[in-house]
Amino acid sequence: MKVATTAGCEVATPTLAPAAPELREKIQSRTLRIGVIGLGYVGLPLATEFARAGFRVTGFDLNSEKVAQIQRGQSYIGDVASGEVSQLVEAGLLTATEDFRGLADIDAVNICVPTPLRKTKDPDLSYILAAVDQIQKHVHRGMLVILESTTYPGTTDELILPRLQENGMEVGRDFFLCFSPERVDPSNRQFHTRNIPKVVGGVTPDCTALGALYYQQAIEKVVPVSSTRVAEMVKLLENTFRSVNIGLANEMAQLCSHMSIDVWEVIEAAATKPFGFMPFYPGPGLGGHCIPVDPFYLSWKARADGTEARFIELAGLINGSMPHFVVQKIQAALNNQAKAVRNSSIHLLGVAYKRDVDDVRESPALDVLALLDQLGARVSYSDPHVPSLRFGGRQLESQPVALACRTADCVVLVTDHSAFDYKEIAESARLIIDTRNAFRAFRMDKIVKL
Ligand SMILES: NC(=O)c1ccc[n+]([C@@H]2O[C@H](COP(=O)([O-])OP(=O)(O)OC[C@H]3O[C@@H](n4cnc5c(N)ncnc54)[C@H](O)[C@@H]3O)[C@@H](O)[C@H]2O)c1
């Protein structure tokens, strides 16, 4: 079995393990039974993509509510339509369960569980290890195991492989193990699981070749690489690239503010250069499960290896300072109106971490709310995607936009959802702090940009 890597070399296997042709035959005949562990933003779109390609897919999740919803044919992920889930469930191609004993009948299993940071900013691999413990009980000849959760280089080789080999099964001979980073971008209408190229690296050349063949059944372009470590590092480079460049844009925003220059105008003009420049934009801070988290997996690993990831640490500091910078802008704008943050009513527009999603994980809105709350402001919010929010031990409810904007002392645009009526808000609000340049079409003194 041969497969060409991006480096141009062909990875060849001199002796094919008997389990490899059997697995290849199952993949090509689409009789392969697929398991996806973790049915979240990553796992559910992946499961439906393979089911749509004609494979029988079982989703395994600890969350009984998610399992029940899938079984009822309902989706809870914006990018996956309920109509599609119900069709696939009815056709017997998609099912979900909390019972991991079903792994015994699975030929290929994708691990798509969370990889958060601990409070100390160390990687929390407990979800991966729990999933691997389940697989380990059922690992069998001809099984393909693929980790998709973002993690530091070495996780697949150093943590997962020894566990799966504990029962005497040998990788590349009895079972096959790969890492394939997930690159899904929730709410992106142009790129989704099927048309985002899939990088895959295996522990052995057979593992890579079988992993690549597997993804080729459901994904338009597959990019094999020479090892699991390369595949793990690819994802961290991509997300570090974003974090560092956003950090630069955020530093530019702070510098421009000191110099009374409009950073948005600067970036738009710089972006007219047809080569050598790619625009990144400032904002209230990083959010979501990936960009604020993943680079710290790499810096942790660098420290463990006795070295340093200086760009990552610096970008983390600058990006982490943005909620404070936003609050300074609010303070200055209120002071100009002879008001203080204390006792002012401050209304946030958008609390999700990015446009048109319902995800508030790591959202900078939470930091802005907490800072304003500490300063004695009366805080409220509107978000068409987040009806309620746990904050500081209380429950906040999303408020009707028009009334809240008319009555607040200050409105802070944190997330530029497309559902907001920017014209109406611009006309009715008394003071607007715009952290996303969402009000670019309006020139009014009461609109303060980042
Ligand atoms: N969300 C994104 O945009 C995105 C993009 C690229 C990569 N990733 C990476 O993909 C991974 C998954 O992220 P996500 O956003 O889908 O997370 P998520 O929280 O949306 O979903 C994870 C799911 O795993 C389930 N789960 C947790 N432990 C489990 C276990 N032991 N067994 C079975 N199910 C378990 C949870 O109940 C949940 O449904 C993370 O490593 C993340 O960094 C996420």
Tokens of 362: 């790591």
Which atom of ligand 1 is closest in space to residue 150's alpha carbon? 41
Query: Which element (helix H / strand E) includes 144?
Result: strand 143-147
- Inter-residue long-range contacts of 235-238, CB under 8 Å, 24+ positions, other chains counted: 235/150, 235/181, 235/182, 235/183, 235/199, 235/294, 236/150, 236/152, 236/153, 236/294, 236/295, 236/297, 236/298, 238/181, 238/183
Pocket flag, ligand 1, residue 149 (CB < 6 Å): yes
pLDDT at 27: 97
Pocket flag, ligand 1, residue 366 (CB < 6 Å): no
Q: Give me the amino acid identity at 357.
A: V
Which segments of the chain have a pLDDT < 70?
Answer: 1-16
Q: Give me the amino acid identity at 209.
A: A
Query: Which element (helix H / strand E) includes 426?
Result: helix 422-428
CA of 428 to the centre of ligand 1 (A): 40
In this structure, the strands spanning 432-434 and 447-449 are parallel
In 3D, which of 380, 370, 368, 377 has the Cα closest to residue 341?
377
Please list, in sequence order, all residues whose beta carbon lies within 8 angstroms of the beta carbon of residue 239, skipping any fewer than 6 positions away.
Answer: 150, 290, 291, 294, 295
CA of 61 to the centre of ligand 1 (A): 10
CA atoms of 31 and 17, how far apart (whole Å): 20
Pocket flag, ligand 1, residue 186 (CB < 6 Å): yes
Which atom of ligand 1 is closest in space to residue 38's alpha carbon? 24
Pocket flag, ligand 1, residue 37 (CB < 6 Å): yes
290 is a catalytic site residue: yes
Task: Tell me the backbone φ, ψ of residue 3, rounded to 5 degrees.
Answer: -150, 135
DSSP 123: B
Residue 401 and residue 425 in contact, taking contact as beta carbons nearer than 8 Å: yes
Pocket flag, ligand 1, residue 298 (CB < 6 Å): no
Residue of 61, 110, 353 to mutate, ligand 1, most atoms within 8 A of C-beta:
61
CA atoms of 268 and 167, how far apart (whole Å): 58
Helix 310-336 with 364-374: angle, nearest 10 deg:
50
pLDDT at 289: 86
CA atoms of 231 and 251, how far apart (whole Å): 31
Tokens of 324: 């404070």
353-384: burial string, b at 16+ Cβ within 10 Å, e else: bbbbbbbbbbbbbbbbbebbeebebebbbbbb
Which atom of ligand 1 is closest in space to residue 60's alpha carbon? 33
CB atoms within 10 A of CB 308: 11
pLDDT at 14: 43
CA atoms of 16 and 26, how far apart (whole Å): 16
The active-site residue, picked from 178, 290, 405, 410, is 290
Residue identifier of the C-alpha nearest atom 23 of ligand 1: 38
Residue identifier of the C-alpha nearest atom 18 of ligand 1: 40
CA of 333 to the centre of ligand 1 (A): 40
In this structure, the strands spanning 222-225 and 198-202 are parallel
User: What burial class does residue 185 get, using C-beta atoms within 10 Å of its C-beta: 0-12 exposed, 13-18 middle, 19+ buried?
Assistant: middle
CA of 183 to the centre of ligand 1 (A): 12
pLDDT tens, residue by residue, 131-186: 999 999 999 999 999 999 999 999 999 999 999 999 899 999 999 999 999 999 98
CA atoms of 347 and 20, how far apart (whole Å): 59
Helix, strand, coil percent content, the chain, rounded in steps of 5: 40, 15, 45
pLDDT at 25: 96
Please list, in sequence order, all residues whose beta carbon lies within 8 angstroms of the beta carbon of residue 305, skipping any fewer than 6 positions away.
Answer: none
Query: Which element (helix H / strand E) includes 382?
Result: strand 378-382
pLDDT tens, residue by residue, 101-130: 999 999 999 999 999 999 888 999 999 999
Residue 372 and residue 389 in contact, taking contact as beta carbons nearer than 8 Å: no
Residue identifier of the C-alpha nearest atom 35 of ligand 1: 38
Residue of 112, 191, 293, 363 to mutate, ligand 1, most atoms within 8 A of C-beta:
112
- Flag whether the pTM goes above 0.85: yes
Residue 402 and residue 428 in contact, taking contact as beta carbons nearer than 8 Å: yes
Residue identifier of the C-alpha nearest atom 37 of ligand 1: 63
CA atoms of 235 and 366, how far apart (whole Å): 26
pLDDT at 351: 98
Which atom of ligand 1 is closest in space to residue 185's alpha carbon? 3
Tokens of 37: 């562990």
pLDDT at 82: 97
CA atoms of 191 and 197, how far apart (whole Å): 10
Pocket flag, ligand 1, residue 316 (CB < 6 Å): no
DSSP 37: E
